[in-house]
Amino acid sequence: MWDLMYIQDKPERKHYFLIQASLRSKKLIKAIARTYLAIFWKLKEFAPLALL
């Protein structure tokens, strides 16, 4: 029983760091996408004014 738990515990720690890293990269991508969209919408609003 304890051996099984120990075996299951070991890989989880390895995966934990990978999961954390992937979550961080996803957060970064989302933040970049949000800022890009915000800038895009602002440009879209001011584009007609710039053309005039």
Q: What is the pLDDT along the chain (52 residues), one digit of tens a residue?
A: 445 545 555 556 666 777 788 888 899 999 999 999 998 888 887 766 666 5
User: Is 50 a member of any domain?
Assistant: yes
Q: Is residue 17 part of a domain?
A: no
The pLDDT assigned to 41 comes to: 86
42 falls within a domain: yes
Q: Which residue range is the domain that position 45 belongs to?
A: 28-52
Q: What is the pLDDT of residue 1?
A: 44
pTM (2 decimals)?
Answer: 0.49
Asked if residue 21 belongs to a domain, the reply is no
Residue 40 lies in a domain: yes
String of DSSP letters for the chain = -HHHHHHHHHHHHHHHHHHHHHHHHHHHHHHHHHHHHHHHHHHHHHHHHHH-
Domains: count for the chain: 1
In a domain, 14, yes or no: no
Q: Is residue 18 part of a domain?
A: no
Tell the residue number behind the tokens 């890989």, with chain if given: 11
Residue 52's pLDDT is what?
A: 59
Q: What is the pLDDT of residue 15?
A: 67
